[in-house]
Amino acid sequence: MVGRQTGISPELTVLLGHDGVSFGRYMEWALYSEQGYYQKRVSLGKQGDFFTAAQFSLFGATLAHYAWDAWLSFGEPQNFQVVELGPGQGELAASLLARLRQLLPQTVNLSYVLVEPSLRLRQLQGQRLQGEKDGVRISWQSPDASLDTVVLANEVLDALPVERVRKTAGGWQWAWVTWNRSQLSLQWRPAPAKLSVAATHWLPIPVDTEAEWCWGYEKLFRSSVCYGRRIHSLWMDYGITREELASGLRPQGTVRGFSHHQLVDPLSTPGEADITADVFWDGAADAARQVGYTTRSLVLQGTFLRNAGLLGVALAESIKKSGLQVTGLSHELAGQVRQLVLPGGMGERFKVLECWRD
């Protein structure tokens, strides 16, 4: 893969040096540095670069019912906390809190903590949520580890930097990004021993095909497992399994860039486009268990949302808006159900990993 630009920023020039950097290091810079996408450009929704389920109000309202069920299972504690990782522009928080505050007794002290490294996104979240919403304490500080807690992570794992690997007859290779004074290029070099061992154990891909390996899963799960006293957590994303890798489903891997809802070369405009890769679910679930979580079997997002009561939430919202004479869902709500549940939208492409610590 070759970038199409004719110049790069001084900061990226310093990072690359004379020899280049691994793709994972490049992806980390392109997304999370001061010049990165999440710090200066990220934009979601119709006018942005991509959609997430958070843009649909039914998604947040349904997750509110999950949080409420967790609160009941914790024994109806007086103090309760919801922590959201990678909360985007705050849409999920807004729709979830509007519903959850109705479900919980008014006497419950509810805290909502947004874990967000991007200053730009924090500002957008603050504008939407305004510090306190209907008696809910909203914070960007560290979660209170003494509270019973629900952790939500929607499309967070796919944004972690990954190393790109390729299996050859002679062994494993990994991708490096280099700069030859006119363009960024992808080069394949022999993989180091640690990466080769991980790839051999976890990635059963055919020879001459590619995949990705993420070192960041364990660090993220290790942080989240300390966010509360007892924790129920949901990790919602698109991804791939070992069985799918073995079948050769993605022979060129899953890394891709997005800009204005179009696929772009991840090397073409560093810091200006989103870069993502499918979650490797087997590796993510193992990382969660290694740090002390118990995991449930992976389920399709459509199945999870139906079981969590999405259709009932949609009908209740229709009645609220149209009165008791409602005979069906509004066009808007029906569209949300299709996108969130049915195979043509996010229903099968996205999956849910549930982890908990009691």
CA atoms of 260 and 250, how far apart (whole Å): 24
User: What average pLDDT is seen over the chain?
Assistant: 91
pLDDT digits 0-9 by tens, 217-255: 999 999 999 999 999 999 999 999 999 999 999 999 999
- Which regions in the chain score pLDDT beneath 70? 1-7, 42-50, 131-132, 321-328
Pairing of strands 79-85, 148-154: parallel
Residue 313 has φ and ψ, to the nearest 5°, of -60, -40
| Residue-level pLDDT at 293 | 98
Q: How many residues does the chain have?
A: 358
Q: Are 73 and 104 contacting, i.e. CB atoms less than 8 angstroms apart? A: no
CA atoms of 53 and 332, how far apart (whole Å): 14
Residue 200 has φ and ψ, to the nearest 5°, of -60, -40
C-alpha distances in angstroms, 170 versus 175, 197, 207, 232, 273? 16, 14, 10, 44, 34
Nearest in space to 110 (alpha carbons), one of 74, 71, 72? 71
pTM of the predicted protein model: 0.92
| Residue-level pLDDT at 3 | 42
| Residue-level pLDDT at 135 | 83
| Residue-level pLDDT at 1 | 44
Residue 299: strand pairing partners: 352
Residue bearing tokens 């069906």: 328
Q: What share of the chain is helix, strand, coil (3-state, %, to 5)?
A: 35, 25, 35
| Residue-level pLDDT at 73 | 97
